[in-house]
Amino acid sequence: MRRWLAVVVLLGLAPAAQPAPFERHLSADRPEDRAIMAYMELEKSGKATSMDLTEMAVLLVNKGFPNDAEDHLKAALKKDKHNFEAAYRLGLIMQRQGHNYRACYWYRRTLKERPGHGPARFMLALAQERSGRRWAAIRNYKRAYRHAPDLADPIKNPLVLDSRLQSEARIESYREKSGKVTQHVLPVDAAAAQRMTPAAPVPAQGHVVEAPAPAAAEVKPPVVKAAPPSGATPAPAKASTAPGQKSAPPSTHKPSKGLHVAPPVVPPAANVSAAP
């Protein structure tokens, strides 16, 4: 019985759970601190999602508590391993603290979920440059500018000024762009191709298109034969023969002697000159 009483007394004297160090620096008068306290209430009730913990970590970094932010980002990834935003922010925290190798791990994890994440690609290249991996950094700079060209602008991304490999990265990026331009094939203009294609005219609705009349056959002028001269004996006409029959041989009959044969009658020629 005495042992149980001793245990109860010790439990009563044990200190309560100590609040996180950043909690002592929160004030309800500041909007950012009120947002952190709201996320803390969700976390204590077990209703905070992976993105809630991620947003809370961002606020803690801005507040100046990167270690507490790192803990919340890892908790967010435990809830959702595909939360690429939490992985990207973990890389930023690692790189901010000078842990470039650890930052590369989290950037690669971000790019595994989102290969086109331009900022993560740029920060990976910057971490690789600071780690001494020159050619890997140039390659990732080029790929970052492919996805997000504004990252190469020092006005929009001042971190470019911290890099010494921008000349090589710009040259590689230019070579890639010029190579694509020379191999670019223009698409076919369907409207232009249709205009160049000959087509029959389409008749309007209710209008009948008349077919063109056939060409008239060439008419040959009649052949006029000259009349035979006066006193000439006309040549005997040839008897027409039916197709498939042979023409009869000319007659060889001679008139008998003593018989009078009348001469052929030749009509007088027409007076062509119209003289009296």
Give the pLDDT confidence of 222-250 residue by residue, as tens digits: 555 555 555 555 555 555 555 555 555 55
Q: Is the pTM of this model over 0.75?
A: no
**Amino acid at site 270:** A
- Bigger pLDDT: 63 vs 213: 63
Q: What is the set of domains in the chain, with CATH numbers? A: 19-81 (no CATH), 100-182 (1.25.40.10)
Report for 156-170, 221-235, 262-276: range of highest mean pLDDT: 156-170
Give the tokens for residue 152. 């190469």
**CB-hemisphere CA count at 13 Å for 172?**
18
Residue 149 has pLDDT above 60, yes or no: yes
**Rounded to whole angstroms, what are the CA distances from 19 to 16, 22, 48, 79, 82?**
9, 8, 18, 23, 30
Task: Taking residues 186-207, report their average pLDDT.
Answer: 63
pLDDT of 14 reads 40
Cα distances (Å, whole numbers) of residue 26 to 30, 57, 115, 187, 260: 8, 14, 38, 61, 164
Q: Mean of the per-residue pLDDT values for the chain?
A: 77
pLDDT mean over 161-183: 82
| Euclidean distance between CA atoms 126 and 131, whole angstroms | 9
Report pLDDT digits (tens) over 65-112.
999 999 999 999 999 999 999 999 999 999 999 999 999 999 999 999
CB 99 within 8 A of CB 76: no
Write the pLDDT tens digit of every residue in 164-174.
Answer: 999 999 898 88
